[in-house]
Structure 1
Amino acid sequence: MVDFSTRQTLVNASPMDCFEVVVDFEQYPQWAPDVKEARVLRRDDSGAGGLVAFRAAAMGRSVSYTLKYFYGTNPLRVAWRLTEGDQVRQLDGEYEMAPAGEDGAKTLITYSLAAELTVAVPGFVKRRAESRIMLTALDQLRRRIEALAAERARPAG
């Protein structure tokens, strides 16, 4: 059974700053605690990651999966589809960044995910895993973006 989730967070950084962190796949292990490895296997014509292999910790196991990324015409949206996974049947989703606040210096990030595991697990385990994924996908991402934005704003010296 496919589980769908959508959540949002407000980030104190520009939409482009947010987008740059979202598509910097090789850095995911630096801010996403469960992601142990992220390798870009193929880039698109613009140099953006098109096919990315991940190894992550999930429910006491190591999970490997490969995602194909789509950028489309909205420069502040990235979507992905699972192409291969050892313990997931579906792992499709998207991040969308929208300017927020009066001066556009904030961003509302919407994260959507459709996931299905290859093995049956109890509902409470699924809910705990979903909560952890959403925490990383939004809270840890927000912290990473805001920390990098603060570094850039700090005067050189």
Structure 2
Amino acid sequence: MEIASETIVVKATPSECYAVVTDFESYPLWASDIKAVEVVRRDDSSRPLEVTYRATAFGRSASYTLSYDYTKAPYELSWVLKTGDIVSKLDGSYSLSESEENFTQVTYQLSAELIVPFPGFVMRRAESKIIHAALEDLRQRVESNIAAK
């Protein structure tokens, strides 16, 4: 299975980026494809373990639930698909590393499969579009949060 990946640099610390990445309930405010979010289950530290999304994906509305792994927090947040109506796989991660003082290199990886198969080049193009939008939306949100302080 091929994993799509893209990296950007955000003018913020890794902790500032991590705070935005893990504030799932705010995603509809800044993530262009996310329309609604519901935290289904939390761990003993109140971190969301399962989150259900309604999003625009592959040209239609999609609902899916992701299960999050905080093992490498705050340097990585990873997830796997728990359930989905049009996807059979939607696994990925955000990796955060300080590239220089007050700058963070953010790498987004995604592996997606639809229930109804599409040609590989269509899936790769869709994954690339999703990743690029997610990273640009994240950069804008993090940097605007810092500018507002």
TM-score (norm 2): 0.93
* Letter of the 2:127 counterpart: E
Which secondary structure does the structure 1 equivalent of 2:3 belong to?
A: strand
1:1-157 alignment runs, 5 A limit: 2-101=1-100, 104-152=101-149
| 1:123 Cα deviation after fit | 4.3
Deviates more, 1:66-75 or 1:78-87: 66-75
Deviations 1:12-35 (A, max 9, x none): 001000000000001111111111
Contact 2:112–2:127 (8 Å) recurs in 1: no
TM-score (norm 1): 0.88
Contact 1:3–1:116 (8 Å) recurs in 2: no
In structure 2, the gaps of 5 or more residues are: none
CA distance in 2, matches of 1:65, 1:3: 21
CA distance in 2, matches of 1:5, 1:126: 10
The aligned length equals 149
In structure 1, the gaps of 5 or more residues are: 153-157
Which secondary structure does the structure 1 equivalent of 2:126 belong to?
A: helix
Aligned in 2, Cα 1:4/1:49: closer, same or farther, shift over 3 Å? Answer: same
CA distance in 2, matches of 1:110, 1:128: 18
* Letter of the 1:141 counterpart: L
| 1:125 Cα deviation after fit | 3.4
| 1:137 Cα deviation after fit | 1.8
| 1:59 Cα deviation after fit | 2.7
CA distance in 1, matches of 2:31, 2:120: 24
CA-atom RMSD, angstroms?
1.4
CA distance in 2, matches of 1:6, 1:59: 18
CA distance in 2, matches of 1:132, 1:32: 13
What is the aligned-residue identity percentage? 46
